[in-house]
A and B are shown apart, each in its own frame.
Chain A
Amino acid sequence: MKSILHCLSAEILKMRRTLAILLCAIAPLIIGAIVVSMYLRDANYFMNWTMLNPWDQLGQMCLVYWNLLFIPLFIPLLTALLAQFEHNRHNWKLIYTLPNPRWSTYLAKWLVVQGLLFGCLVEIFVVIFLSGKLLNAFNSDYGFSAAFPLWEFCKLAGISFLACWILVSLHMWIGIRFSSFPMALGVGIFAMVGALFIFGQDISYYYPWTLPGITIVDVKDGILHLMPMFIGCLGGIVLAILSMYDLSHIEVYQ
Chain B
Amino acid sequence: MDKNILQTFSLSRNFGELKAVDNLDLSVPEGSIYGFLGPNGAGKTTTIRMLLGLVHPSNGQVTWFGQPLVNDPIGLLKRVGSLIEMPSYYPHLTGFENLEVIRRLSGGKKNDIARVLHLVGLEQDANRVVRQYSLGMCQRLGLAIALLNQPEVLVLDEPINSLDPAGIHEMRELFQHLQEEGVTLFISSHLLSEIDQVATMIGIIRKGKLIFQGTPSELRAQYPRRLSIGTDRPEDVSIWLKGQGYPILQMNNHHIDIPIRSEDESAKMNKKLSIAGFPIFETRYESISLEGIFLQVTSRENQSGE
A and B interact: yes
Q: How far is the CB of A253 from chain B (nearest CB, A)?
A: 7
A10 to chain B: which residues have CB within 8 Å?
101-102, 104-105
B275 to chain A: which residues have CB within 8 Å?
none
Q: How many residues of B contact A (CB 8 A)?
A: 32
B97 to chain A: which residues have CB within 8 Å?
13, 16
Given A7-B105, A99-B106, do A89 and B49 touch, yes or no (CB 8 Å)? Answer: no
B78 to chain A: which residues have CB within 8 Å?
99
Rounded to whole angstroms, the CA-CA distance of A18 and B78 in the bound complex is: 30
- From 80 to 103 in chain A, residues with beta carbon under 8 angstroms from any chain B beta carbon are 85, 88-91, 93-101
**Contact call A91/B90, Cβ cutoff below 8 A:** yes
**Contact call A93/B84, Cβ cutoff below 8 A:** yes
Q: Which of B56, B74, B89 contacts A91 (CB 8 A)?
A: B89
Most buried by B among A89, A91, A253: A89
**Contact call B100/A13, Cβ cutoff below 8 A:** yes
**Contact call A13/B101, Cβ cutoff below 8 A:** yes
**Contact call B74/A99, Cβ cutoff below 8 A:** yes
In the complex, whether A1 has a CB less than 8 A from a CB of chain B is no
In the complex, whether B1 has a CB less than 8 A from a CB of chain A is no
**Contact call B90/A100, Cβ cutoff below 8 A:** no
Q: How far is the CB of A90 from chain B (nearest CB, A)?
A: 6
Q: Which of A85, A97, A251 contacts B77 (CB 8 A)?
A: A97
In the complex, whether B37 has a CB less than 8 A from a CB of chain A is no
A93 to chain B: which residues have CB within 8 Å?
49, 52, 54, 82, 84-85, 88
In the complex, whether A41 has a CB less than 8 A from a CB of chain B is no
**Contact call A91/B54, Cβ cutoff below 8 A:** no
In the complex, whether B245 has a CB less than 8 A from a CB of chain A is no
In the complex, whether A9 has a CB less than 8 A from a CB of chain B is yes
In the complex, whether B92 has a CB less than 8 A from a CB of chain A is yes
In the complex, whether A133 has a CB less than 8 A from a CB of chain B is no
Given A101-B74, A251-B56, do A94 and B107 touch, yes or no (CB 8 Å)? Answer: no
In the complex, whether B122 has a CB less than 8 A from a CB of chain A is no
Count of chain A to chain B residue pairs whose CB atoms are closer than 8 Å in the complex: 87
Most buried by A among B54, B75, B100, B129: B54
Q: Which of B82, B89, B92, B105 contacts A6 (CB 8 A)?
A: B105
**Contact call B91/A16, Cβ cutoff below 8 A:** no
In the complex, whether A22 has a CB less than 8 A from a CB of chain B is no
**Contact call B93/A94, Cβ cutoff below 8 A:** no
Q: Which of B74, B86, B100, B101 contacts A100 (CB 8 A)?
A: B74
Given A90-B86, A97-B77, do A9 and B54 touch, yes or no (CB 8 Å)? Answer: no
In the complex, whether B60 has a CB less than 8 A from a CB of chain A is no
Most buried by B among A17, A88, A89, A94: A94
**Contact call A88/B105, Cβ cutoff below 8 A:** no
**Chain A, residue nearest B155 (CB):** A97
B102 to chain A: which residues have CB within 8 Å?
10, 94, 98
In the complex, whether A14 has a CB less than 8 A from a CB of chain B is yes
Given A95-B105, A252-B55, do A16 and B93 touch, yes or no (CB 8 Å)? Answer: yes
In the complex, whether B68 has a CB less than 8 A from a CB of chain A is no
**Contact call A97/B104, Cβ cutoff below 8 A:** no
Rounded to whole angstroms, the CA-CA distance of A252 and B52 in the bound complex is: 10
Given A2-B107, A89-B87, A93-B54, do A17 and B93 touch, yes or no (CB 8 Å)? Answer: yes
| Residues of chain B having any CB pair with chain A under 8 Å | 49, 52-56, 74-75, 77-78, 80, 82, 84-93, 97, 100-102, 104-107, 129, 145
Q: Enumerate the 4 nearest inter-chain pairs by beta-carbon distance, A residue then B residue, closest first.
A: A94-B88, A252-B54, A91-B88, A99-B78
- What are 23 pairs between A and B in contact, CB < 8 Å? A10-B101, A13-B93, A13-B97, A13-B104, A14-B90, A14-B93, A16-B92, A17-B92, A18-B92, A88-B90, A89-B86, A89-B91, A90-B88, A93-B52, A93-B84, A94-B145, A98-B77, A98-B105, A99-B106, A100-B105, A101-B74, A251-B49, A251-B54
